[in-house]
Structure 1
Amino acid sequence: MSGSEAKTAVEWLVSVAPDPDACRWEWERNPLGIALLPAGRRWDVLILPGELGYPTLDILTRLVDRPGPVLADFGDARLGFFVPPGTAARWIGTGVRGAGRGTWIVVPYPGRTAGGVRWLVLPDAAGTLTDPSLLELSMHEAAANAARAGDE
């Protein structure tokens, strides 16, 4: 990741903080390299279990040139897909958690791993988010593939 890509990702992410300048300052100097950012303003996050999240991401990247940002947590137990605001409140799906308005998420500084949390897909300058319909389609295909593999 180039320095300009990281700077653009940082600017987009901190724009949701109550005090973006203070957030950026603290984030860049925090030895843990993490920030706690509110969901529900520019994005929500749909959190999938890793065993479904990784195959979903693989399918999604075949459907679109670039999905929205994706985080993986410690041990790859969960993946967080950044989707448009309001998605978490409308999402109905077994085993999928949503972080929307009123929730906060731990976000590592772009290009760093912090406490095991890392970016699989970084934010871009355009603020690209994953289309919830494409995410759902990818999840269904990933689940169907897993079911077929289990039947063999």
Structure 2
Amino acid sequence: MLDTGCETGGGPPSAGVPDAPCELVTVPARHGLEAVDILRLRESVGPVLHDGAGGTLGFLVPPGTAEGWDLPGSVCAPAHRRSGRPADLPPAGTGWLVPPESAQTGTTEPARLRAALSEAARTIAAAEGGA
């Protein structure tokens, strides 16, 4: 099983499902898809969730990332229930865009994610003529 740095909660683990605490950086889908492409090219993308409606993507990152995360247009929060117990991954209404077993890394390293999201924002701005 790939060690993604994220815990699945109750029940038996299945192949490729995270099994330790983690946090989740959530971004709008378009921004996230650009960042996934950038990270894949650099062989540094970890597991990525997408919501059922396709409006957001969530990058699994190591615990402690939320403390210093301040990138506009994104949110970083612990992936656990209010009880403090880990959440089941993927949560209801979401699925894997990059499943743990297909990810290039266990979690996405925060500095690389920040750089990819910044590059993605510049790419989107340039495509919209607002470079």
Counterparts of residues 53-132 of structure 1 (less than 5 Å): 53-64=32-43, 66-100=44-78, 105=87, 107-108=89-90, 115=93, 117-124=94-101, 128-132=106-110
Q: Taking structure 1 as reference, are residues 100 and 146 closer, same or farther at Cα in structure 2, changes over 3 Å only? A: same
| Contiguous gaps of at least 5 residues in structure 2 | none
Contact 2:5/2:107 (CA < 8 Å) preserved in 1?
no
Cα separation, 1, equivalents of 2:89 and 2:96: 9
Q: Please name the residue that 1:142 is paired with.
A: 120
Greater helix proportion: 1
With normalisation by structure 1, the TM-score equals: 0.65
Cα separation, 2, equivalents of 1:63 and 1:14: 22
**Matched AA of 2:29:** G
Contact 1:84/1:130 (CA < 8 Å) preserved in 2?
yes
**Matched AA of 1:62:** L
Contact 1:14/1:24 (CA < 8 Å) preserved in 2?
no
Cα separation, 2, equivalents of 1:130 and 1:107: 16
Please report how far the alpha carbon of residue 59 of structure 1 lies from its aligned counterpart in structure 2 after TM superposition: 0.8
Q: Taking structure 1 as reference, are residues 130 and 13 closer, same or farther at Cα in structure 2, changes over 3 Å only? A: closer
**Matched AA of 2:129:** D
With normalisation by structure 2, the TM-score equals: 0.74
Cα separation, 2, equivalents of 1:13 and 1:24: 17
Cα separation, 2, equivalents of 1:12 and 1:139: 20
RMSD: 3.3
| Contiguous gaps of at least 5 residues in structure 1 | 1-7, 18-22, 29-36
1:74-132 deviations in whole A, cap 9, x for unaligned? 221110101110001210011211122765656238xxxx53x1101122499711011
Q: Please name the residue that 2:22 is paired with.
A: 43
**Matched AA of 1:43:** C
Contact 1:89/1:100 (CA < 8 Å) preserved in 2?
no
Please report how far the alpha carbon of residue 146 of structure 1 lies from its aligned counterpart in structure 2 after TM superposition: 0.9
> How many matched pairs?
121
